[in-house]
């Protein structure tokens, strides 16, 4: 499984400006082959900070994801509003355990 996790600091007011696009991207992405989970959130302590959490079956699924038309539109919108900084990691997970056993 591939995990994509991190955050992006958007320009002031940026998070509110991309709300509609976030919903569109999440809805479309969750339908993609190989998508196990896909979520965006807001950091409650850092204004205009987008939290990213994705789970993919494998690298091929993730590679196909970034080539989707809705991702092109999403990246264009982020470029339009401005990304101040980002820390997003791609992690290949080998073992999985439930929190409560």
| Per-residue pLDDT, 96 | 78
Domains and CATH numbers, the chain: 2-92 (3.30.70.100)
pLDDT in tens, 65-101: 999 999 999 999 999 999 999 999 999 988 778 888 6
SS3 per-residue string spanning 35-84: EEEEEEEECCCCCCEEEEEEEECCHHHHHHHHCCHHHHHHHHHHHHHCEE
Per-residue pLDDT for 12 more than 70?
A: yes
pTM of the model: 0.90
Q: What percent of the chain lies above the pLDDT cut of 90?
A: 91
């Amino acid at each position: 499984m591939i995990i994509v996790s991190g955050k992006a600091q958007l320009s002031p007011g940026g998070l509110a400006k991309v709300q509609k696009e976030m919903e569109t991207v999440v809805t479309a992405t969750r339908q993609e082959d190989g998508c196990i989970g896909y979520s965006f959130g807001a950091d409650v302590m850092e204004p205009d900070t987008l939290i990213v959490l994705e789970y993919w079956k494998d690298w091929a699924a993730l590679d196909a994801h970034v080539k989707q038309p809705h991702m092109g539109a999403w990246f264009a919108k982020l470029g339009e509003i401005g990304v101040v900084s980002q820390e997003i990691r791609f992690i290949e997970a080998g073992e999985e355990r439930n929190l409560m056993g």
